[in-house]
Structure 1
Amino acid sequence: MDSDDRELIANQKYLVIDDFDQFRQYLRQLLRSIGANDIDIAHDGKQALEQLTHRHYDVVYCDYNLGSGKDGQQLLEEVRSKNLISELTLFIMVTVENAMDMVMGAVEFRPDDYLAKPFNKQLLRKRLLRQLQRIEKLRPLYELQQQGELEQAITLSKQLERQLPHYQTLLQRYQTEMLMKLDRVAEAISIYQQLINQRPLPWAMLGKAEAHLLQGELQLAEELLQRLLHQNPSMVAAYDLLAQIRWRQNRIGEAEGVLQEATSLSPKNVSRQERLARAALHNGHLDVALSAARAVINYATHSIHHHVSHYARLATVQTRMGDMLGARETMSQARKEFREEDNLYLKLVKATQKQSEKRHEEAIELLQQLEQEVKGRSGLDAEFMLYLADTELALERHTEGIRILEQIAENHHDDEAVLEEVKALFVKYNMREEGQRLVERIRQRIIELNNHGVAMARKGNMSGALLHFRGALEKMPDNITININTLQVVFHAEDKLQRQPQNIELVRRCLQTLQQRAPQHPKLPMLQSQLKRILKKVLPS
């Protein structure tokens, strides 16, 4: 190993996570023997999360099995979701495990590398250097991505393609991902097609299918996914997209079947198990829904996904199966684990139980209480609101149910998955055409509303644009597009407008909404840095 390689290894900060002290010490010694100096250790997921929250690491070695509590997959998912690590941090999964559900689950969250025990110093050094050299060569690109400067990052990645032909395919993959985030879908499709023409790369086929899906080209997306699954039957993400297509085609029975195939391959993906539970419940396949709802609770415990809604769903399935004792036990467990303010779900389950017991007046009374609690409240997730609308419609409270569905569509007008669930509820209660009209009317109204505000801003009428978007936020506080446009108006306004306390508070609220509802949004880092810039003007150092 030459001096440059040894210096590269020496300049990194390392974190080793393993529940066995003997292996922690062994890996620390191996790393020191190849030049590493700054090495911290953690014995479980909780300690590792604490360390990753308070210190930056360049390289993380994490065992998959960490004993009780979080496993390596759950830790990786959480630190990525909370932006505790970026592309500049290597996350390397280490394990002796080789079970299919473990391997598939870990691969889905794309660790930078995967090391199977046992391994020696030579292998450790070779794999580490390969990844560190990639980071060093592509560091300017990763920094631009981290800052949310995706346009500049795309331009740079094209330049790097010519300078670093070894990384050409990887750089093209980054380009397509950034283009998709910027909604430049046609350009992404063009790159995907060029790559597929050269070689049918699974990730390129998957990305192109997703792009066609975003453009509403369901047939093209489906054909590509069927071809991909024929070549790569273990490509779980392809099943997810195919299930989305089936759902949008209102073929929810087939969507359920596709999701069952995916969960049999990779059962630990909580979001996928949730979708299976919802599909099976919609189709009346209560045994499948019960199994999936229990799997959600099992796999979500200790993870970032752990939520009261999982218990609410299981209790709902148990209620529909007539297992009232089981439903009560599930709700009792949920009350022990979650705060009182999280119990909106449990109150809704209670209303569903009253409905199942034919105690409709009591069920309606509970719904009316819930309506008052959620009135004017922001931050409620779409699943809860869909559940509430479903319960209202089941009790023939059509006006209330449709009003809630309208509110969901307003706050999620550009989220196709949520809009399809809205339309599915209209279909369930024999109102297919009314649902389609409502969704299209709201989508068009919000597009026009956004365009009007943006047009005012472009003409320099920042005060008018800000007033316009404030009014929109009062009615649709959780709409991502409206929150982003409000922020951009403030950030492009004159200093006097930016400095006003009410506008700084508005910016904070919008950023908080984005952090809660879209923590991975590509514009979020850039928008957060803009707030810091304004605060420096208001509070000079």
Structure 2
Amino acid sequence: MNAIVNAAAGTLGASVSDQVDWASKTYLVVDDFIGVRQLLRESLRSLGARTIDQASSGGEAMGLLNKTRYDVVLCDFNLGEGKNGQQVLEEARMRNLLLPSSVFLMVSAEKSVESVMGAAEHQPDAYLVKPITEGVLLTRLNRVWRKKQVFGLIDQAYAEKDYLRAARLCDEQIAVNKAHEIDLLRMKARLMEKSGEPAKARETYERVLAQREYQWARSGLAKIRMADGEFEQARQMFQTVIAENRYYIDAYDQLAQAWQHMGKHEEALNVLERAAKLSPNSVPRQRNLGQACLKLGNVGMAEKAFRKCIAIGEYSIRKTPDAYLGLARVCGLKNDPKEALQLLIAAQREFGADHPDMELRTKITEGLVYHESGDYRRARKAGDELEALLQATPERPDVPTCLEMATLLFAVGVKEAPVDLLCYVIRNNHDNTLLQDEVQQIFEKARMGEEGEKLIRGARKEAIDLMNQGVLLWKTGKLAEAVEWMRNARTALPHNVRILFNSAQILISHMQQRGYSAELHEEAHKVLTHVDHLQPGQQRFAQLMEQLLGLAPKAEEPAQGAPAGEVAAA
């Protein structure tokens, strides 16, 4: 257990002799017991702290984090009813409510593997076990604060998605901060992966491993192997990492992916089940376990995972409709359409306002529930209603939803609408051969194999011709026409990554040749952000983002010696 706590703490062994001006910092103390809040407040006051806010619940903490960017947050893990400390940290990270230089300390009397693992997954800067002495608090704050100042500008570049600049900043810091070399190399390797530079990431991991056998570096090399299609080698490496540290939870998730890529879905399920037992309070992991079980027809385990996912996700920012829809499918397979429909109503009520495609997704699941429980008349009715929804809404959902909808529509006897959906999917992914194979399988299941092949070829050609025309305009110097053409192409195919990249490239070229434009800069930034959301880790994304950010007028340089937090906030 001590090994887990130490790993979560992230201590760097720095001396505490260098004094930090703790009096000038802002603090937030979060605990549901007033006595504990007072004790922590007094401990901070003994360090010189003056500005200390307090919250008695996770909800109150989020309200304060929305208003103020604190330098230091001390948050209890167990906060009674509502969000726990893990969920506060999770949401604060995802919503960027903490500055790159902010310190988040998780405080708890909990020593269980489940609690520590859950908190550590969301990267608190330290995990402190009660009771906490002033000496321990000061030592940990000093260590973490120094590290934050080293990483402040790197984190800011990362937040701006300028991964190549962030990697260069890592090299600069390595040259002057040998004490933090390993942590900086870890960040650099991660940045090289985000920049689509696996060879450079591999070099960095190997540089680390030449000094010491770090499991995260070994796991990083395994991820690169997996990305290169070397699934068996990756599997062996992940299993070695787990054998050396059974609490290295990320290796379980990656190992499950390796098994899935190899077509070994039972093995993948076994790994996910082990991971969920070790760290059961992860909403995404319970959801993935449920979906893996559903795919294999393990209805009992799928039900258990989806119900757990709904329960632990009640106050989590990672709460999604997937567990509700998955559990509804389970109920359909158990021939319990009544509960399935209740779950669909609950999903619509919970998520309808924030998910514009919620009505579509619940209607698809409703149709599948009826079809799987043998009520083909109601399944056909749901299919007819889906057709009407498609005609009324020009926007198309994501790829998995499109494939699921096409499968249902074919199953209930509809032809034209699912064909249009599948062709739309191909046009937006014209160079994704694996997806094309999946679409072809849907056509074959609908007894349209030969026709499907022709439709796929035609959809691919349409996308390629659309893209090539815009590139031709650009290459022949017709920049304004190329910009406009690619805008129309993005409207027609909003999720085609190659069209999006070419559109961003043309916008950048326009500014390079004809001068900076704030409107074009914003447009290009939105396009690249959309690409990074669709397919993160693309080399071209990092290169284009660096070019784009280099075009913007330079902001006024911060005053010499300004704290990292102030620079980040400017």
Question: What TM-score, normalized by structure 1, do the two folds share?
Answer: 0.84
* Residue type of the alignment partner of 1:466: V
**Structure 1 residues 292 and 450: CA distance shift in structure 2, 3 A:** farther
* Residue type of the alignment partner of 1:200: E
- 1:81/1:520 contact within 8 Å kept: no
How far has the Cα of 1:265 moved from its partner? 1.0
- 1:81/1:519 contact within 8 Å kept: no
* Residue type of the alignment partner of 1:161: I
Match of 1:5 in 2: 19
Match of 1:102 in 2: 115
**Please, which runs of 5 or more residues in structure 1 have no aligned partner?**
535-541
Question: Structure 2 residue aligned with 1:55, among 24, 47, 68?
Answer: 68
1:487-525 deviation digits (Å, cap 9, x = unpaired): 453344249897698x68956874785697689998699
- 1:6/1:35 contact within 8 Å kept: no
Q: Give 3-state SS (helix, strand or coil) of 1:307's partner.
A: coil
- 1:6/1:34 contact within 8 Å kept: no
How far has the Cα of 1:314 moved from its partner? 0.7
Q: Give 3-state SS (helix, strand or coil) of 2:19's partner.
A: helix
Tell me, in whole angstroms, the C-alpha distance in 2 between the residues paired with 1:64 and 1:516: 31
Q: Larger deviation: 173-182 or 337-346?
A: 337-346
How far has the Cα of 1:70 moved from its partner? 1.3
How far has the Cα of 1:201 moved from its partner? 0.7
Match of 1:537 in 2: none
- 2:387/2:417 contact within 8 Å kept: no
**Structure 1 residues 59 and 387: CA distance shift in structure 2, 3 A:** farther
**Structure 1 residue 71 and structure 2 residue 84: aligned?**
yes
Give the number of aligned pairs: 531
1:383-403 deviation digits (Å, cap 9, x = unpaired): 433432342354465775565
**Structure 1 residue 355 and structure 2 residue 360: aligned?**
no
Match of 2:564 in 1: none
Match of 1:143 in 2: 156
Match of 1:369 in 2: 385
Tell me, in whole angstroms, the C-alpha distance in 2 between the residues paired with 1:48 and 1:154: 33
1:349-368 deviation digits (Å, cap 9, x = unpaired): 22123323434344234224
Higher RCO (Cα < 8 Å, 6 or more apart)? 2
Question: Structure 2 residue aligned with 1:493, among 510, 522, 525?
Answer: 510
Match of 1:120 in 2: 133
Match of 2:484 in 1: 467
How far has the Cα of 1:408 moved from its partner? 4.3
* Residue type of the alignment partner of 1:115: L
Matches within 5 A, 1:117-196: 117-196=130-209
Match of 1:538 in 2: none
* Residue type of the alignment partner of 1:64: F
Tell me, in whole angstroms, the C-alpha distance in 2 between the residues paired with 1:295 and 1:54: 32
What is the root-mean-square deviation in Å for CA atoms of aligned residues? 4.1
Question: Structure 1 residue aligned with 2:104, among 91, 99, 114?
Answer: 91
Match of 1:384 in 2: 401
* Residue type of the alignment partner of 1:230: A
How far has the Cα of 1:45 moved from its partner? 1.8
- 1:413/1:443 contact within 8 Å kept: yes
Q: Larger deviation: 475-484 or 204-213?
A: 475-484
- 2:101/2:151 contact within 8 Å kept: no
**Structure 1 residues 223 and 516: CA distance shift in structure 2, 3 A:** closer
How far has the Cα of 1:137 moved from its partner? 3.3
- 2:165/2:546 contact within 8 Å kept: no
How far has the Cα of 1:194 moved from its partner? 2.6
Match of 1:199 in 2: 212
1:436-484 deviation digits (Å, cap 9, x = unpaired): 9999998999799768856865775432432343233223323456445
- 1:345/1:384 contact within 8 Å kept: yes
Q: Give 3-state SS (helix, strand or coil) of 1:5's partner.
A: coil
Tell me, in whole angstroms, the C-alpha distance in 1 between the residues paired with 2:459 and 2:161: 30
How far has the Cα of 1:297 moved from its partner? 0.8
Q: Give 3-state SS (helix, strand or coil) of 2:213's partner.
A: coil
Q: Percent identity?
A: 29
- 2:57/2:82 contact within 8 Å kept: yes
Match of 2:41 in 1: 28
How far has the Cα of 1:118 moved from its partner? 0.8
How far has the Cα of 1:529 moved from its partner? 7.4
Match of 2:7 in 1: none
**Structure 1 residues 2 and 208: CA distance shift in structure 2, 3 A:** closer
**Structure 1 residue 317 and structure 2 residue 330: aligned?**
yes
* Residue type of the alignment partner of 2:54: I
**Structure 1 residue 42 and structure 2 residue 58: aligned?**
no
Tell me, in whole angstroms, the C-alpha distance in 2 between the residues paired with 1:288 and 1:6: 52
* Residue type of the alignment partner of 2:363: K
* Residue type of the alignment partner of 2:43: L
Tell me, in whole angstroms, the C-alpha distance in 2 between the residues paired with 1:427 and 1:229: 41
How far has the Cα of 1:406 moved from its partner? 5.0
How far has the Cα of 1:74 moved from its partner? 1.5
Q: Give 3-state SS (helix, strand or coil) of 2:123's partner.
A: coil
Q: Give 3-state SS (helix, strand or coil) of 1:301's partner.
A: coil
How far has the Cα of 1:313 moved from its partner? 1.4
How far has the Cα of 1:287 moved from its partner? 0.5
**Structure 1 residues 450 and 78: CA distance shift in structure 2, 3 A:** farther
**Structure 1 residue 212 and structure 2 residue 228: aligned?**
no
Question: What TM-score, normalized by structure 2, do the two folds share?
Answer: 0.80
- 2:280/2:286 contact within 8 Å kept: yes
